[in-house]
């Protein structure tokens, strides 16, 4: 069931890096929020829709909402940005923008081509294929969002006239300045000035999330989201906003397909970089079911080889475990928009590949919280 979340005020979401009064003066904001942030907010809302926190702690809602130490059947996909009920997604990282001063062309996206890795390439990059710009002009990474129809064209391999929506069409940053005060004298304490960038949605912007695993889906209410427990309206929607994505047909004539991550993923396979086996680890980018040396793996009976990937700078996520009064483990996230290219090594039919990977949370850790939502796509030569 789909839900729309519309904030009533500015919001603040940040990553897992420490932010302590007296040590740092500036906190970095992230947007969209991590799936776990929205999952936790929805879970809390559902607890109070059903009853209260004491009953939750006693396990009265164990089957659906779990307990303070375990999860129930509740799962989410998202969150996703929506402009006037049209979903928008992080730009796939194998789409780049043209370096230009033209206002008309600055939001155009161009695909980069999958090629066999040249023998003359000197790098610790170990996969057998690379992505290359074959256009006659210089390309650069694009920051913004791709609306759903554009994403569908991208997944079908039709990437000629794609445009993206810039971040300023989605939200604005509003700095908030604060300082710690002495509770007795009410005077400001030296060294405790801080500034945080609050997020204000543009007028027609909201968050959408798909909720699964409940027996009864509430019509809506108010939800507390992000730092300072800011309030938002949550409302059940009747449409299936993934219908066109679910109806996509694929062929994979060359036995190669891609997986685009619509939400960040936590992968749990460390791989040593060549030449520095003792100390240098790349954490979190490789799924646990992929062999670290051959890049071959089997997932749900499908044998594939990872031949190329394009991922962004890792993100950090941690938090505080309220149930056990201790910090949560710190993870490195593969950012949304990252793309993995696979070659099929057996005779698995296309429909099984779609059933296994398409619109599925494939994160090794916390997939039920919305991490690692994958969409599969064509790779055309």
pLDDT at residue 14 above 80? no
**What are the pLDDT digits (tens) for 238-288?**
999 999 999 999 999 899 999 999 999 999 876 444 444 443 334 578 999
- pLDDT at 249 (0 to 100): 95
Residues 6+ apart with CB under 8 A from 11: 33, 198, 199, 200, 201, 225, 226, 227, 230, 232
75-84, 217-226, 324-333: segment of lowest average pLDDT: 324-333
pLDDT tens digits, one per residue of 126-184: 899 999 998 888 899 999 999 999 999 999 998 777 999 999 999 888 776 666 666 66
Q: Which of 205, 226, 243 is where one domain is finished?
A: 243
Q: Which residue has the tokens 């569908």?
A: 152
Per-residue confidence band for 11, with pLDDT thresholds at 50, 70 and 90: confident
Q: Are 285 and 309 in contact (CB under 8 A)?
A: yes
Q: Which neighbouring-strand residues pair with 235?
A: 4, 220
Find the mean pLDDT for residues 220-232.
87
Q: Are residues 189 and 327 in the same domain?
A: no
Instruction: Say how far apart CA 361 and CA 249 lie, in whole Å.
Output: 20
260 and 356 co-located in one domain:
yes
Distance CA 39, CA 36 (A): 5
Structural domain contains residue 329: yes
pLDDT score for 319 = 67
Q: Higher model confidence: residue 190 or residue 272?
A: 190
What residue ranges in 65-187 does DSSP mark as E strands? 75-83, 86-90, 95-98, 108-111, 113-116, 129-132, 139-141, 144-147, 162-163, 165-166, 171-181
Last residue of a domain, one of 191, 220, 243: 243
pTM: 0.88
CATH number of the structural domain spanning residue 297: 2.60.40.4350
User: For residue 238, what are the domain limits?
Assistant: 2-85+169-243
First to last CA, the chain: 37
Report the mean per-residue pLDDT for the chain.
86
Assess whether 273 and 362 both reside in one domain. Answer: yes
Q: 10 Å Cβ neighbour count for 297?
A: 20
The answer to whether position 162 is within a domain reads no
Point out the least confidently predicted range of 3-7, 113-117, 297-301: 113-117
Looking at the structure, tell me whether residues 196 and 234 fall in a common domain. Answer: yes
Which of 217, 243, 269 delimits the end of a domain?
243
Residue given tokens 């990553």 in the structure block: 15
For residues 330 and 188, state if they share a domain. Answer: no
Residue 110 structure tokens: 């161009």
Report the residue count for the chain.
Answer: 381
Q: What is the mean pLDDT of residues 296-320?
A: 89
pLDDT for position 151: 96
Same-domain check for residues 306 and 373: yes
Number of domains in the chain: 2
pLDDT at 118: 85
pLDDT of residue 317: 81
């Amino acid at each position: 069931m789909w839900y729309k979340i519309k904030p009533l005020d500015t919001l603040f979401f940040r990553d897992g890096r420490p932010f302590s009064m007296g040590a740092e003066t500036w906190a970095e904001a992230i947007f969209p929020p991590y799936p776990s942030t929205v999952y936790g907010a929805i879970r809390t809302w559902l607890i109070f829709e059903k009853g209260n926190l004491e009953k939750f702690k006693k396990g009265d809602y164990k089957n659906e909402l779990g307990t303070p130490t375990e999860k129930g059947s509740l799962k989410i996909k998202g969150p996703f940005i929506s402009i006037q009920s049209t979903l928008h997604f992080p730009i796939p990282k194998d789409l780049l923008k043209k370096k230009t001063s033209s206002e008309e062309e600055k939001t155009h996206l161009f695909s980069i081509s999958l090629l066999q890795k040249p023998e003359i390439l000197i790098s610790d990059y170990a996969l057998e294929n690379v992505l290359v710009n074959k256009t006659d002009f210089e390309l650069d990474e694009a920051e913004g969002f791709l609306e759903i129809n554009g994403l569908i064209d991208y997944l079908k391999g039709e990437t000629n006239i794609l445009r993206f929506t810039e971040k300023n069409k989605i939200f604005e940053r509003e700095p908030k300045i604060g300082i710690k005060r002495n509770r007795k004298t009410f005077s400001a304490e030296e060294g405790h000035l801080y500034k945080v960038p609050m997020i204000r949605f543009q007028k027609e912007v909201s968050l959408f999330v798909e909720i699964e695993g409940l027996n009864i889906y509430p019509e809506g209410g108010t939800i507390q989201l992000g730092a300072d427990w800011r309030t938002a309206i949550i409302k059940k929607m009747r449409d299936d906003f993934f219908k066109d994505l679910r109806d996509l047909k694929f062929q994979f004539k060359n036995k190669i397909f891609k997986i685009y991550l619509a939400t960040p993923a936590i992968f749990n396979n460390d791989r040593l970089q060549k030449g520095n086996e003792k100390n240098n680890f790349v954490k979190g980018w490789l799924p646990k079911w992929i062999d670290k040396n051959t890049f071959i793996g089997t997932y749900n009976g499908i044998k594939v080889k990872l031949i190329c990937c394009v991922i962004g700078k890792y993100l950090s996520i941690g938090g505080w475990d309220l149930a056990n009064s201790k910090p949560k483990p710190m993870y490195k996230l593969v950012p949304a928009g990252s793309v993995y290219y696979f070659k099929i090594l057996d005779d698995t039919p296309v429909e099984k590949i779609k059933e296994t990977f398409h619109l599925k949370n494939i994160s090794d850790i916390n997939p039920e919280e919305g991490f690692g939502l994958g969409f599969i796509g064509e790779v055309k030569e």
